[in-house]
Structure 1
């Protein structure tokens, strides 16, 4: 069988995927993929990622953050990569991979933590300190022996802190 290819001839699986990015059998009903290489302003990135997180699709939110790190200024790369790792950590935890999920949550928290030291502890409206606390708490819960597999939608973080 020939490999699936995208429009430019690169190998890319054409299998549909579920909300957590897991491949489904050919012909199954999947969720639409995130388009790759979309350049957004930071606020659009945060809003789109939050929409996907709220919908229980952290794998897709990770792809939005990946676009931001690839197209944004180099000085922000750690922020966007860390946010992507947080989304992938939630993805793995929700897929039942507690160990991998906890590791990625902690790695993402460490990566974004430096951005919490800035004025107001917020970057592009992102509540970095709140995300670090969320990630470490979820990592501890999913890594506990006998912990239930978390629901991605129920565990979705709030990227932007609500005021008043």
Structure 2
């Protein structure tokens, strides 16, 4: 860690980082999260019986769309020409609930961690929205960056022991 926040000037004012002199490299980021719910809610989703439709399919599309609009949602983020965004949504009966993972990729001058995090967050919010009629007690949890590659700082992987 550098110990400095890149979006703050010496006077503490927020600003957009100038990435114009950075090299264009392939950059990826993977983020994960989960929606914990009642076992019956998970069963309902997996059976395709949610009143609003296919929860997993809609959440996947919502996450991809959100990644592409991250710069409109998060102040000071650069608009990026994403080359790929993938979302994996898998049931986890032990949770119980759905685990969500997003991978974002760009050939650019800045990283895509925020895009991956936004994809996961919006996918989880969509799951909640589509199933809240039967389970308002769902919990969105453990949203985090798992790894990132590329750029001047190189590759990074989350520690195995947690955040």
TM-score bucket of the superposed structures, by smaller chain: under 0.3
Larger CA Rg, structure 1 vs 2: 2
Which structure has more RCO (C-alpha within 8 Å, separation ≥ 6)?
2
